[in-house]
Amino acid sequence: MKHDVRMRGFASRVDVEVVDAYLREHARPLAGKQVGLLDCIGRVLTEDVRAEVDVPGFPRSAMDGYAIRGEESFGASAYDAIRLAVAGISLPGKPYQGELSRGEAVRIMTGAPIPVGADAVVKAEVCEEQDGFVSISEAVAPRKNVGAIGEDIARGTSVLTAGRRLRPQDAGLLSSIGRASVECVRRPRVALVVTGDELLPAGSRPTGPQIVDSNSVVLRGLIARDGGVALPFEILPDLPERIRAAMADDRADVVLVSGGTSVGQEDHAPRLLSELGELAYHGISMRPSSPTGIGRIGERFVFLLPGNPVSCLSAYEFFAGPTIRALGGRARRWPHRRAVVPLARKIVSEVGRTDYVRVAIENGRATPLATAGASILSSTVRAAGAVIVPRELEGMPEGTSVEVLLYDDEAPDEEPAEGA
C-alpha cells in the first residue's frame, strides 16, 4: 500500500515555495478554442487579431447638418449667409443616391454616408432650411465634420494580441470589425470531490452531529473568480471506492478534494492519489492548511484541501487558484486588491512556517483576528483581508507596515461623514 500515513502524522513538511515551484513548472495554459463573440468577455485570447476591414468603411458625417463642398461656404457669416439648393437627404444606412453638384447641399444625420461630391458638413445650428434652400451662416473647411474611411480602425492594423483578457469594449471592437468568434484559452474544468460522512448538502439545515457543507460553496465562488468552470458534484461519504472513482474522473483539468486529506483514520485521499497518479507533496509548512496534498493524475492537477473551512480557503488561494488561473491563461499571482497599512497588534508566527492571517482594518490599521482557528469560517467574514507572513519571519511587530490582500474586489462606497 502506497503512502499510508494514517495515524502516524507527518514525518516532515515541505515549504510553500517548493510546492509553488512544482505547480509553476507544470501548469501551462490550455489549448485555445473558438468562442462566440457574446461569450468572450473576460476570456483570454490566443490569437493576434487584425482588422480585415476599415471602420467606418465609408466617409461619414460627425454631425447633424448639411453636406456641402466646403469651398462653397468660404466667406459665409451671420451677416452674409450663402444659399444652397437642398438636393436630398442622407441617413445612416440610407445614403443619398446622387452626386452633389455645385450650388447644392444634402441634409445629413450623424453617422450617415457623405454624398459623392461633398467634402464637409455644416452643423444644423448655423443652417436654416426653407422652401428647398438652406442658408448657411458659417464657413467650413473641406473635411470638417467628416469621419474618414478607417478613422476608427484601419484595415490591416493589429487590434488585439494573444494573451489579452478581453474587456467589454474589446468584444465591441471585435464586433465592429465583423468577427463572430475568436480563439480563446479553454476554461479549466474543475471537479469537486467533497468528502465527509458528517456533511449535509448546501441548502440543508444542520442537525445533530451533522454540519452543512460550506467548502464547496466557497470553492465554487473562487473557481468562478479565477475563470474556471466547476463541474456538477455530489457529496461523498468517507468511502475509499467512492472517492477513488470521483478523483479518477477524466473530464476535469483540476480536481479539488475537500476533506479527508490529513493523517486521520478516515483520511483516504492521499493514499488514493498516490495510487492513481503522483502525490508530489503531502504536509506543508504553513498555517492553516498544513494537511494539504498536491499532485497529478496524468495531466490533471489534484489538490487535497483540508476540510477545515479556513484551511480549505487558504490552501485554495496558495495553490489551486494560481494553477487554475495559469491553465486559463491568466496571471498566476493572487488577484486581490491590496492595501498597505500598519499593524495595530503584533502577529506571532514561527520561522520556517508561512502563515495566512485574517485581519480586520479599523481606522487605517490592521488587527489580526486569529492566527489559529482553522475551523472558524466566520473569521474570514469579519476580516477585510489576509496578511501572509513569510517563512523567514518569526512574526511581525505592532506598527509594521503590512500588505493586506483584500477580500472585496471593489472598494466600498465612502462612509457618509458624521452628521451628513
- Residues making contact with ligand AMP (CB under 6 A): 194, 196, 198-199, 211, 213-216, 258-262, 264, 306-309, 375
- 65 makes contact, choosing from Mg ion, ligand AMP, none, with CB < 5 to 8 Å by partner type, with none
Nearer CB in complex with Mg ion: 265/363: 265
**What minimum distance in Å lies between the beta carbon of 390 and ligand AMP?**
25
Query: Which CB sits closer to ligand AMP, 210 or 401?
Result: 210
Applying the rule CB under 5 A, the residues between 175 and 204 that interact with Mg ion are 196
> What span, in angstroms and rounded, lies between the C-alpha atoms of 244 and 246?
5
Structure-block grid coordinates of residue 237:
461519504
The torsion region of residue 265 among left (phi > 0), alpha (psi -120 to 50) and beta comes to alpha
Pairing of strands 49-50, 158-160: antiparallel
Question: Least distance to ligand AMP from the beta carbon of 21, Å?
Answer: 25
Q: Is residue 259 close enough to count as binding Mg ion by CB under 5 A? A: yes
321 interface partner picked from ligand AMP, Mg ion, none, CB below 5 to 8 A per type? none
Q: Is the peptide bond before 335 cis (omega within 30 degrees of 0)?
A: no
User: Alpha-carbon distance 63 to 168, whole Å?
Assistant: 27
Residues 345, 398: contact at Cβ < 8 Å?
yes
Q: From the list ligand AMP, Mg ion, none, which binds 261 (C-beta under 5 to 8 Å, kind-based)?
A: ligand AMP
Q: Does 270 contact Mg ion by CB under 5 A?
A: no
* DSSP string for residues in 109-172: -TTPBPPBT--EEEEGGGEEEETTEEEE-S---TTTTEEPTTSSB-TT-EEE-TTPBPPHHHHH
**Sign (positive or negative) of CA dihedral 66, 72, 75, 78:** negative
Q: Which amino acid is at 281?
A: Y
Contact 183, 45 (CB under 8 A): yes
Tally of CB atoms within 10 A around 403: 15
Q: Give 32 or 260: the residue with its C-beta nearer to ligand AMP.
A: 260
CA distances from 71 to 102, 114, 120, 140, 303 (A): 10, 16, 9, 8, 73
Q: Strand pairing of 278-282 and 293-297?
A: antiparallel
Minimum CB–partner distance for residue 306 and ligand AMP (Å): 5
State which residue, 73 or 262, has the beta carbon closest to Mg ion: 262
The least distance separating ligand AMP from the CB of residue 160, rounded to whole angstroms, comes to 40
Cβ neighbours for 54, distance < 8 A, ≥ 6 positions apart:
149, 150, 153, 154, 155
Over the window 273 to 312, marking each residue x when it contacts Mg ion by CB under 5 A and - when it does not, the resulting string is: ----------------------------------x-----
How many Cα atoms are found within 13 Å in the side-chain-facing hemisphere of 301?
A: 30
Site for Mg ion in 136-165 (CB under 5 A): none
Taking the least distance from each CB to ligand AMP, the nearer of 305 and 387 is: 305
Q: Which is nearer to ligand AMP, 30 or 193 (CB)?
A: 193
Phi and psi at 144, nearest 5°, equal -65, 130
Contact status: 321 vs Mg ion (CB under 5 A): no
Closest distance between ligand AMP and the C-beta of residue 208, in Å? Answer: 13
> CA-CA distances (angstroms) from residue 133 to 66, 78, 129, 258?
11, 16, 6, 79
Site string for Mg ion, 6-45 (x = CB under 5 A): ----------------------------------------
**Of residues 32 and 288, the one with the C-beta less far from ligand AMP:** 288
Question: 45 vs 312, which CB is nearer to ligand AMP?
Answer: 312
Residues 66-125 within binding reach of Mg ion (CB under 5 A): none
Q: Decide whether 258 or 323 has the Cβ nearer to Mg ion.
A: 258
Strands (E), 172-220: 181-185, 189-195, 199-200, 211-212
The CA distance from 269 to 194, in Å, is: 11
349 binds, among ligand AMP, Mg ion, none (CB under 5 to 8 A by kind): none
Closest CB 262 distance from Mg ion, rounded Å = 8
CB contact at 8 A, 164 and 77: no
Residue 232 Cβ, how far from Mg ion at the closest point, in Å?
Answer: 21
- Which residue lies nearer to Mg ion by CB, 259 or 295? 259
Closest distance to ligand AMP from the beta carbon of 267 (Å): 6
Position with the least CB separation from ligand AMP:
307
Which residues here bind Mg ion, judged by CB under 5 A?
Answer: 196, 259-260, 307
